Amino acid sequence: MSQYETAVARYFEAWNATGTTEELAKAVAAAWAEDGSYTDPLADVRGHEGIAAVIAAAHEQFPGFEFRRAGEAEGHHDVARFRWELVSLADGSAPVAGSDVITLDGDGRIRTVTGFLDRVPTA
């Protein structure tokens, strides 16, 4: 598995960590560098606590959904990009989709995420 595939797999493990606060914190720490950041049109946070809070808020807004990759990750140097969908476990619908660009640190953990929302629910 490439460094990009490993980083993206950890990213999705963090976004799909729906257990305890400690489990989410552990998944975020495995995926992101300590001073890592996450930025999309709705959030701009830095550090593990801020990232975990954004993930927890997404699960509060969309209970019963999980984040899934939509295609393969592509990467070069310390940058990768990939697409994703937020999928209902009940009916398979995916009301939210986007694409993210990540940069990695020397240990292969995420330094930055720049996210784009390609599809969002209306109203």
C-alpha 68, offset from chain centre? 10
Non-local CB neighbours of 60 within 8 Å, separated by 6+ positions: none
Average pLDDT over residues 32-48: 97
Q: Tens digits of per-residue pLDDT, 73-111?
A: 999 999 999 999 999 999 999 999 999 999 999 999 999
C-alpha 45, offset from chain centre? 13
The whole-angstrom separation of Cα 86 and Cα 69 is: 9
Reported as type and span, the H/E element at residue 115 is strand 110-119
Beta strands 65-69 and 79-88 are antiparallel
Q: What angle do CA 30, 4, 67 make, to 5 degrees?
A: 65
Least confident of 42-51, 57-66, 84-93, 114-123: 114-123
- Mean pLDDT over the full length of the chain: 96
Q: Does 6 have pLDDT greater than 70?
A: yes
Beta strands 79-88 and 96-104 are antiparallel
Tell me if 7 sits within 8 A of 32, measured CB to CB.
no
